Structure 1
């Protein structure tokens, strides 16, 4: 459980968060006393149904983040995980919005919210305002038996209901139609959440580490609510197994307790993957992919819309929810179907589904897989080198890099992030495998041979060093081609290599500011190229590279992660730059084999 917060006072936190909405959306105003975010008056507001929602704070961007043109008219916030008071809501309905077109008061189905929002709705009715009240319930974590008379809780799928009724109200529909569509939409939504952990509310005491408030490290809570309430059960499962179980709970037609949604093969669905607040976009995207693939494979469901993002949270909850909306005819004609209303534009900052209707409708399976790639190796040169010699010297250098990996890794663990040695070894092993493959066709054309090796490096080495080597080698191929005689074939000598290597250094300088003395692999490659140009002696050039790498022991880093690593007094004068050291090992290996 993450228990550290930037703001420890929950009251300050809530009010600051609500205030921020007026900074990010100029059409909004904020009643700080009653924690009401509402749309500023516009000439056409009285002609349309106003939508008022809200609930406890801690669910951001819900609910205040959904106030804006095309969605909510106003939202009322309580303290964290607590309903706002009936008086707050009454003021929102009767003092902060237009009521001539009628008002829909809509909230999630939780007892406190239902009571307080319902009370405000009744006060509005008593004052002569045409008002309807509706509570959204879409959760299948709690079945019919346990839910009893309370019914389903309102969780992530409720955001789809708010978007649909908000767009419908914006289109000028009547209050009766807006209320009816809220009910229709809710009847066709099922949602289930899962979380790795409960959350800590700012300002509250830290939980007892031995209590059930903490979910064991190897377990996942399924059916967890958005207010830290427990789920239906805990499981030990992989991500794939978790998704499979959740989809069954959502869609199993034989589960009498939870089969809230009856559907057929002809039905169309919208899929919503909602972040409960603390899941990285990387993992949430993997959830979306897994859900989509299992829906297709196991249920023959291919969503016509897939919406992923952070819509209804539980503070920084380490979980997500899956919602499925079965599309139904609204009876309101073209332009006012559920899908139309979901796709309708909105200026609420919390609604982040940005893909236009036309993009969904025009999607196809077309790709560029059949486009013929431009392959550099197909363009030969007149610069030659015996392929047996090339293979011999490269093999010697690559093997030396592989042997040096433990030492490079040790150095990089001290002054970097520990991945340099593994990256060099991975690239060396990939190129070696390519050279030793019986199907590999290395000819005496030096440029085409280098161009065949470059993709191996590009695909096997990542990170900054991988990019540097890829840029350098691509420039080297071009530099070698420039050294080739225009009218006859010639074998590459130290002079051609020297000129091509200098060209590569010049090209590399366009993309990195690294120079000799900055404690990078440049401290090894520049002395090598300089000495080779001066003496045409590979052994002398290799010695210069080794000396350059060794000199980095005494340098303070100007580039790379080493800049951020403390404790210099422990390694200055002792540890060389890992990249420079690894490159020097490669250069020594190839020159010894010449």
Structure 2
């Protein structure tokens, strides 16, 4: 639970968040006094049933960000996790929406919301307006015995009601039909959420909310920190299994709210409670879809994943399943779900036609197999090359602790292990292919570097080696020479160094591996002697000791350690080049 916030004043926070929606969606306007976000009259092309929802703040993008053509007509906001009062709702119905064709109010099943919205609805009816109210309760985390007369809480499945009813209203349907379809969606939706942590409300003292243990997840936790059904230490697979059981197991008489058969068409909504990374939500989505198919035979016709109804920055997610039903009209639930909505809170961007007839072609592995690296025609002795490389790579692996020590002082400590991974990968490759063509021999090594080395140094080495292979091919095409001697390698190395400069501005003096590489290339070109070139690389690496970095992560790490150690990348390369020279003797 994080108790740190950029905005700690809850009143300012709510008002500024509501105002932001008007900045990102020009169809909306804000009644600041009553915290009502509503659709501008000229954004609605023709009179229609108005759809109103709302509740406590802290569940964004629901409710206010669902205001827009094709969705809600207005949303009424309370303070964080607290219902708006009846007067706010009454003013919304009477003053902020078009009520000529009737108004549907959708509210989640929380006592404060039901009472305050209900009071406003009755006042509007007393004033002669046609108003209906739908109470949404989809949370399977609350069983029949626990819910009692109150019933289930409303959670993220509510947004499906908003979207479908809003689309139907936009198509000109009458209030009775919009209400009936909204009720149909509500009665056929079941949801449950789970969280790794309770959330902290801005403006409250830290520690007011009970925290979960490090390895605990609370299944069925409400979106206002309400207690869940159970606490578990299960991994994601076990957690999802339990959540789906709560939602779909008909043998559980306390929670068997919705019977879903494999033959039923369904919509699956996977909702981020606010604090889960997009990356992790992707993994959660895959796990849920796989389990719901494998264990229940359910293959949803729509899978919608994203952030729709949060619990501030809740470190959890919720699942909702809507069993599709016949609406009895020309508009199916799917048509209405897929209909466009001009609001920032709805993020399902796939068209109906794409879902109905999805593309089936893929580009299979090997699609580009016709594009192959060609021999350069320059020959090497593969046995000598393997021998020299083996010696150099073993020297580099042995130097890993030293390189790591240097990088721990001036970087993030991964340079040595990255070089070691690459070296071990190349050692595994040596001897498997007696390739005598210089460029093809180098290509095989490069593919290992690309696969085994990551980070900045891995990318630099891969760029350089690819450019070196290209340099060999260029040298071969410009002469009749058949052997890759020191002169050929020197010219190709010079070309590769020039090519690498297009991707990194590193030059000698910047405290990078170029401080070792550039002297090696220069000396090899001048003398044709690999041993002298390796000595020049070693001298260049030693000069980086005390040199202030102008490139790389060392720039950000800072500190005074650079005075005592050489650049780890330059040192590692110098070790390798020295070993290569020794191996060629």
What interval of TM-score do these two structures reach, taking the shorter chain for normalisation?
A: over 0.9
Alignment of 1:299-448 (within 5 A): 299-333=296-330, 336-369=331-364, 371-374=366-369, 379-436=374-431, 440-448=432-440
Partner of residue 63, structure 1: 63
Structure 2 distance, partners of 1:44, 1:395, is 73
Cα shift readout 1:378-435 (whole Å, capped 9, x = no counterpart): 5222100011011111112221221122222222222222222221111111111111
Structure 1 distance, partners of 2:257, 2:564, is 68
Change (3 A) 1:513 1:59: same
What is the SS of the residue equivalent to 2:298?
coil
Structure 1 distance, partners of 2:377, 2:480, is 6
Structure 1 distance, partners of 2:154, 2:40, is 28
Structure 2 distance, partners of 1:547, 1:302, is 65
Consecutive unaligned residues in structure 2, runs of 5 or more: none
TM-superposed CA distance for 1:489, in Å, is 6.3
Partner of residue 25, structure 1: 25
TM-superposed CA distance for 1:4, in Å, is 0.6
Cα shift readout 1:301-360 (whole Å, capped 9, x = no counterpart): 222111111110111011001111111111112xx2111111111111111111222222
Alignment of 1:116-515 (within 5 A): 116-207=116-207, 213-333=210-330, 336-369=331-364, 371-374=366-369, 379-436=374-431, 440-484=432-476, 490-515=482-507
Alignment of 1:2-13 (within 5 A): 2-13=2-13
More divergent stretch after superposition (249-258 vs 221-230): 249-258
Structure 1 distance, partners of 2:33, 2:20, is 15
Alignment of 1:526-541 (within 5 A): 526-541=518-533
What is the SS of the residue equivalent to 1:42?
helix
Task: Kindly indicate whether the alpha-carbon contact (under 8 Å) linking 2:10 and 2:202 is maintained by their aligned counterparts in 1.
Answer: yes
Structure 1 distance, partners of 2:280, 2:199, is 19
Cα shift readout 1:38-92 (whole Å, capped 9, x = no counterpart): 0111275662010110100011111111111111100000000000000001111
TM-superposed CA distance for 1:373, in Å, is 2.1
Task: Kindly indicate whether the alpha-carbon contact (under 8 Å) linking 1:160 and 1:342 is maintained by their aligned counterparts in 2.
Answer: yes
TM-superposed CA distance for 1:292, in Å, is 1.0
Partner of residue 537, structure 2: 545
Structure 1 distance, partners of 2:447, 2:497, is 20
What is the SS of the residue equivalent to 1:129?
coil
Partner of residue 566, structure 2: 576
More divergent stretch after superposition (126-135 vs 378-387): 378-387
Structure 2 distance, partners of 1:480, 1:82, is 71
Structure 2 distance, partners of 1:446, 1:403, is 27
Consecutive unaligned residues in structure 1, runs of 5 or more: none
Structure 2 distance, partners of 1:43, 1:193, is 35
Task: Kindly indicate whether the alpha-carbon contact (under 8 Å) linking 1:382 and 1:488 is maintained by their aligned counterparts in 2.
Answer: no
- Aligned residue pairs total 584
Task: Kindly indicate whether the alpha-carbon contact (under 8 Å) linking 2:39 and 2:73 is maintained by their aligned counterparts in 1.
Answer: yes
Cα shift readout 1:213-243 (whole Å, capped 9, x = no counterpart): 1100111100000001111110011111111
TM-superposed CA distance for 1:120, in Å, is 1.0
Alignment TM-score, normalising by the size of structure 1 = 0.95
Task: Kindly indicate whether the alpha-carbon contact (under 8 Å) linking 2:139 and 2:190 is maintained by their aligned counterparts in 1.
Answer: yes
Pairwise CA RMSD = 1.6
Task: Kindly indicate whether the alpha-carbon contact (under 8 Å) linking 2:512 and 2:551 is maintained by their aligned counterparts in 1.
Answer: yes
More divergent stretch after superposition (479-488 vs 343-352): 479-488
Structure 1 distance, partners of 2:371, 2:329, is 59
Task: Kindly indicate whether the alpha-carbon contact (under 8 Å) linking 2:467 and 2:495 is maintained by their aligned counterparts in 1.
Answer: yes
What is the SS of the residue equivalent to 1:373?
coil
Change (3 A) 1:213 1:494: same
Alignment TM-score, normalising by the size of structure 2 = 0.97
Structure 1 distance, partners of 2:271, 2:35, is 25
More divergent stretch after superposition (141-150 vs 409-418): 409-418
Structure 2 distance, partners of 1:327, 1:473, is 57
TM-superposed CA distance for 1:101, in Å, is 1.3
What is the SS of the residue equivalent to 2:18?
helix
What is the SS of the residue equivalent to 1:282?
helix
Structure 2 distance, partners of 1:265, 1:374, is 41
Partner of residue 588, structure 1: 578
Task: Kindly indicate whether the alpha-carbon contact (under 8 Å) linking 1:102 and 1:130 is maintained by their aligned counterparts in 2.
Answer: yes
What is the SS of the residue equivalent to 1:572?
helix
What is the SS of the residue equivalent to 1:105?
strand
Task: Kindly indicate whether the alpha-carbon contact (under 8 Å) linking 2:263 and 2:298 is maintained by their aligned counterparts in 1.
Answer: no
TM-superposed CA distance for 1:285, in Å, is 0.9
Cα shift readout 1:462-503 (whole Å, capped 9, x = no counterpart): 221111111111111110111226786622111111111111
TM-superposed CA distance for 1:372, in Å, is 3.7
TM-superposed CA distance for 1:375, in Å, is 6.5
Task: Kindly indicate whether the alpha-carbon contact (under 8 Å) linking 2:545 and 2:564 is maintained by their aligned counterparts in 1.
Answer: yes
Task: Kindly indicate whether the alpha-carbon contact (under 8 Å) linking 1:278 and 1:317 is maintained by their aligned counterparts in 2.
Answer: yes
Structure 2 distance, partners of 1:83, 1:45, is 31
Task: Kindly indicate whether the alpha-carbon contact (under 8 Å) linking 1:61 and 1:310 is maintained by their aligned counterparts in 2.
Answer: yes
Task: Kindly indicate whether the alpha-carbon contact (under 8 Å) linking 2:43 and 2:69 is maintained by their aligned counterparts in 1.
Answer: no
